A and B are shown apart, each in its own frame.
Chain A
């Protein structure tokens, strides 16, 4: 995971002269740098590295009724890879990712570009309104949308009935994943939009001037100048969205009470790991599931970044 191309921006550092002996001032500065890093890396190691290693270790054992913890090798992983609950959950979040993320990021990009043109009245107000759901915790958002989806008193159903459209069932087994997509989209469009918008605001005006002289319209400007310029910011939102959708937890766990038939214990892998660990008390197996989930997220994030780097390079060559 040491290779993270899209996120890394190496400032071309001045060529360091090869010196055999570091000078005392240099040594003092090195020491200061390490001391500055120390607090962060202490927490980093205890809260990230050690739990990761521990999860890996735990996942290799099996708890037996007689004999306690027994080394099981990769048995837990073998079980997970054939476990319909785990695979089903993984498939569900993958579907979630494939459908929800493009919609959310596409809309976020549209809003960011539209607001950046400054052609709408009250841009600032719109921007804040779109961003506001980000301040709402997933728990509150899910509770709220749970009520909004309600068949009896939910306003959506009320309006649909008044319009003679019947009562939509947002919480049925077939619809609940899409209802969840809507909740997450509602929550995070603004956050992603702000990241893209902030990047757009940092593009120097000179670039536009050149494009205007060439007679480029707004759409051409957006497509050929703005979007390529904020590619790193877009990439960042994609990575965050991969991580977010693969670890869905609050939404399924809270909607479970409203739609017990539609949401299974393994609705998402994270929810599954939680149920395994805290309801079924299968700690070792839960660790394997959590570890596998982390691995899946890391691998997908890595390849998405790699792919984006490639296409960016190809584009640059083409220009």
Chain B
């Protein structure tokens, strides 16, 4: 029953300090050479493919096939590749990137807000039907979203919404896992006494949520936002079936299309290096987002996952 005991001791945002209580347990005292070497060797598995992607984006098409994959060709063609990438088909790559940014930020913003409101309500109110509604939310975590995509597509096409950005954004607003995380997070991060005090001061329930609740939910919000952002950013199935116009494609569908063109046409072989450079460029924004926000999402996750 360690988990339930843990719960009372945990407060959000302090995960890194939490262990300070024990004087005998000082893990940094003993380093293990063996473990260090082993882990760094394992890290190679994760990083080498990305290294290959980077190296390959600096090669032209013939060097791609003639040189060793994990090292640079004598001649660097990164600049040429980038130029081709950004000018091909009238600069459609930029368009795809922008689409991805718009779809995923709008979806993530909406999903986070919906999840925060619902999670807050589940954590801080007692109301009839709470259990049923929360169980339904949790149960929905198990519903495969891609299996839902097909009927959703049919409904959207009857409503005339297919081949519009809404077809990608609206289904991405549902984040049952986000609601679950926000509930767990809000339960700890927002003291009941604070809400009571605000009520005594005459603040309405919505004002309390906006001015007290949301401010204390910081790391939880960042976590849910980032995970929803990645989910939409990386989604392939949904935009693939919903969109027909290539001007509306997100980067995933666009790259897949470029790749299909590259492997289909004998004369368009030069596209391989464009696909690779495009792949490399497309993963940079998310990696930067993760690096910059890691402090927040990791502490947000720390509260969410231990009580799962």
Binding site for B on A (CB under 8 A): 1-4, 6-9, 11, 13, 16, 28-30, 32-37, 39-41, 43-44, 46-48, 50-52, 54-55, 58, 111, 114-115, 117-123, 125-126, 128-141, 143-145, 147-148, 152-155, 158, 186, 189-190, 194-196, 198-199, 201-209, 212-213, 225, 228-233, 235-236, 239, 243, 246-247, 249-250, 253-254, 257-258, 270, 273-274, 277-278, 283, 286-287, 290-291, 293-294, 297-298, 301-302, 316
Contact = CB atoms under 8 A, between A and B. Distances in A.
Contact of A119 (B24, B31, B64): B31
Query: Mostly helix, strand, loop or mixed at chain A's interface?
Result: helix
A43 B134 CA distance: 15
Interface stretch (B76-84, B86-94, B149-157): B149-157
A4 B137 CA distance: 10
A186 B48 CA distance: 11
A3 B135 contact: yes
A133 B174 CA distance: 24
Contacts of A122: 36, 40
A207 B21 CA distance: 11
Interface of B: 1-3, 6-7, 9-10, 15-16, 18-22, 24-25, 27-28, 30-32, 35-36, 38-40, 42-43, 45-47, 49-50, 52-53, 56, 64-66, 68-70, 113-115, 117-118, 120-122, 125-128, 130, 132-148, 150-155, 170-171, 173-174, 176, 179-180, 184, 187, 205-206, 209, 230, 233-234, 236-237, 241, 251-253, 255-256, 259-260, 263-264, 275-276, 279, 282-283, 286-287, 289-291, 294, 298, 301-308
Contacts of B153: 277
A138 B136 CA distance: 29
Contacts of B30: 119
Contacts of A153: 64-66, 69
B241 A155 contact: no
Given A135-B230, A144-B53, A293 B21 contact: no
17 contacts: A30-B127, A34-B127, A37-B121, A37-B133, A39-B117, A117-B32, A119-B35, A119-B36, A122-B36, A144-B52, A145-B49, A153-B66, A201-B18, A202-B303, A229-B2, A278-B241, A298-B139
A7 B139 CA distance: 9
Query: Which of A41, A158, A213, A297 has most B Cβ within 10 Å?
Result: A41
Given A131-B290, A233-B308, A246-B144, A36 B118 contact: yes
A199 B121 contact: no
B241 A274 contact: yes
Given A2-B135, A47-B171, A138-B236, 12 more contacts: A36-B121, A55-B147, A55-B151, A114-B38, A119-B31, A145-B49, A147-B56, A205-B20, A212-B24, A239-B141, A239-B142, A298-B142
A9 B115 CA distance: 18
A36 B306 contact: no
B144 A294 contact: yes
A135 B286 contact: yes
Contact of A283 (B43, B154, B305): B154
B143 to A, nearest CB: 6
Nearest to B67: A153
A295 B141 CA distance: 13
A13 B251 CA distance: 47
A294 B294 CA distance: 33
B47 to A, nearest CB: 5
Contacts of A16: 126
Nearest to A202: B306
B234 A29 contact: no
A270 B36 contact: no
